[in-house]
Chains A and B, each alone.
Chain A
């Protein structure tokens, strides 16, 4: 079974502080994604990556940076956290190779910015 691990699971941050959300996958997938989930908006893509060293902007990248230092790890960085970034964040990995298209999601990180 594919595994995606997110840390921390819960985080309380202060406005203006720096927050780093980490994601590790053991699936050897090329593609990794960061989504946020908000009521009324569903899942929205923040950043994604298709391999080590690559990061791309998704639909709502403002206020977020991403880092993919290795195949396994993909981080989401909030340099100056704001209350509007309070949300649940999901990391996912996937690969279209060999016809496998399934996304595997982590357990999520609940972030509160006060």
Chain B
């Protein structure tokens, strides 16, 4: 089955700098790649996604890049703020009528004021 590798387990950046979290996947059939955020002691919520028909998507300060050849996708958080501190999970799915999502292990991001 699909395996999603999330390369950074922890990441610290200074407020205002950019943070980049990288993920790779194994199954070429995967075509939908969401990102979820988990703040301390809370549940996960969706932040941004990208589908395989595009290679870049931006939502405010969040940018997702997808490199299908390398089977790699990344989350870029620009102009980081302390409230960006959280665990971020990448995931991959085949985007069919029934979906199974495969998650990475999570990256704990700390934004230092």
Chain A residues in the interface with B (C-beta under 8 A) = 30-31, 33, 35, 40-45, 48, 50, 58-59, 90, 94, 96-97, 101-108
Contact = CB atoms under 8 A, between A and B. Distances in A.
A97 B32 contact: no
A97 B97 contact: yes
Contacts of B100: 45, 48, 58
B45 A105 contact: yes
Contacts, number: 58
B108 to A, nearest CB: 10
B49 A96 contact: no
A105 B104 contact: no
Of all A-B residue pairs in the complex, the 9 with the closest CB atoms, nearest first, are A42-B105, A43-B103, A105-B43, A105-B44, A50-B98, A102-B46, A42-B106, A107-B43, A96-B99
A30 B32 CA distance: 18
Interface residues of B, number: 25
Interface of B: 1, 6, 32, 34, 36, 42-46, 49, 89, 93, 95-106
A35 B105 CA distance: 13
B44 A90 contact: yes
14 contacts: A30-B98, A31-B98, A33-B101, A45-B100, A48-B100, A58-B100, A90-B43, A90-B44, A96-B95, A96-B99, A101-B34, A101-B49, A101-B93, A103-B44
A59 B4 CA distance: 13
A103 B36 CA distance: 9
B105 A96 contact: no
Contacts of A42: 6, 89, 103-106
Contacts of B96: 96
Contacts of A104: 46
A97 B89 CA distance: 23
B9 to A, nearest CB: 8
Nearest to B49: A101
A71 B96 CA distance: 19
Nearest to A59: B1
Given A50-B98, A59-B1, A96-B95, A103 B34 contact: yes
